[in-house]
Amino acid sequence: MSPSELQAFAREALCDNRLAAMAVEAGEKLSLENVVQLSAEIEAIYMLASLEGRGVDLIEQHRLLWRKAAQFFEDVIAIWQSVPTDGAPLKAHRQLLAQLCELARDRVEFYSLTAERRDYIERNAD
């Protein structure tokens, strides 16, 4: 899957979540199948980002990939912020979003070169 296909899939998942959130805001109850599908799309985005990371060589590319993934999860979380939790499946979906967002943020941090790490590298390069 190319990066543009991953981005297109992420946009589609974002739209699906927005439509589902709008339906809940309008008083509709989401079916278990709908919530499972939303969660499956979200997990697929994370897995596809992980697979995409195997194909990049530079740390900066990894950081950019995971920064985009974290932003995606933050955007989906924001969609659901004002929507009342409608049952256990939707609550689980929101927890999955938070969990994957934290994992993506952790990966951004992992691929970030902090000043302390940079100093350590410079000290040990000699």
DSSP the chain: --HHHHHHHHHHHHHHHHHHHHHHHTTPPPPHHHHHHHHHHHHHHHHHHHHHHHT--SHHHHHHHHHHHHHHHHHHHHHHTTSPP-SHHHHHHHHHHHHHHHHHHHHHHHT---HHHHHHHHHHH-
Tell me the per-residue pLDDT of 60-83, one tens digit each, with 9 for 90 and over.
899 999 999 999 999 999 999 999
Q: Which of 85-89, 100-104, 115-119 has the lowest mean pLDDT?
A: 115-119
Question: Which of the 8 DSSP states describes residue 58?
Answer: S
Give the domain ranges of the chain. 3-125
Per-residue confidence (pLDDT) for residue 78, from 0 to 100: 97
With pLDDT > 70 as the criterion, what percentage of the chain qualifies? Answer: 90
Give CA–CA dist 79/75, Å, rounded: 6
More confident residue, 4 or 29: 29
Tell me the per-residue pLDDT of 3-26, one tens digit each, with 9 for 90 and over.
678 889 999 999 999 999 999 999
When pLDDT is cut at 50, 70 and 90, the band that residue 116 belongs to is low
- How many CB atoms within 10 Å of residue 34? 18
